[in-house]
Amino acid sequence: GIGIMGEGMAARLLTEKIAGTTEKPLIIWNRTTAKCTAFVETYGNDYTIEIKESAKEVVEACGITYCMLSTPEASKAVFEAENVGVLAGVSEGKSIVDCATLAEADMKRMSEAVVGKGGRFLEAPVSGSKVPAAKGVLIFLCAGNKALFDEIVDNGFNVMGKASHFFNEDVGYGTRAKLVVNSLMGTMVAALSENLALAENVGLDPSTIIEVISQGAIASPVYALKGPKMVAKDHAPNFPLKHAHKDMKLASDMAKAAGVEFSVNDKAEELFAKARSDEGLNVADQDFSAVFEIVHKESSGDFSKKRKRSD
């Protein structure tokens, strides 16, 4: 996939010389062919890149294939597509590294199918969004085939990320870690949204409040990055709200299955669900910072009313 995440990851494999030579070309495929074409137009003069007609052809041509797709539905469709999908290309010795955020059951199903055909599978969802992917500072959260992890931790992961963690040889543990991280991030942005809206409605300068937050014990890169953009209504997507909500819902389901009290996340997930489904706001494809807009929409304070009128 050469989307929001995959484009940056693929570019790092080129610029850091993991792939892209005549002897070892970078082989890509995307559901939207135009994205592959644009990628080649950007990097093709300096590196050897091959576009394949299907996911199956990529797997057949590569020893190790990285998969990065946006949703469980997209991952399932590409993995299982008859005669052209990822699984169709797997044979003895092929290795699949799936970097999407899915349900644990999805990862286990894919792993069993790959191993059943003689391949190796590594679950490797990432913590990070568009900019970290482009800068090579993602965090890989892995489980599955340890030998495969050891092969690429310093020959692939190291140029796409700043850290790689191996949790367990049982597939599912990487997804569990990713959902814990993303659910916490979602609750942080939901809480920031409510508190910035509160500050604005009681007459405080939100930029000053963001500065105060950055100077104390609750300082966070999330607040520093998202806060100013939220105030400016700049929700250009780095991590789309619909994907953030998907992860929070998966985390909520995981907590229920584990018997864990998870009410803070659950309330934040409800807020994201409202924002995602609100046709008037139309923010599902915008950055997850756009949850701020549903907070203002549902607030009756004078500032919120004025802000809504200015939209």
What is the C-alpha to C-alpha distance for residues 137 and 95, in angstroms, rounded to an integer?
Answer: 23
- Cβ(96)–Cβ(86) below 8 Å: yes
- CA-closest candidate to residue 132, choices 7, 288, 272: 7
Measured at the CA of 51, the angle between CA 47 and CA 53, to 5 degrees, comes to: 170
Q: Which residues are catalytic?
A: 178
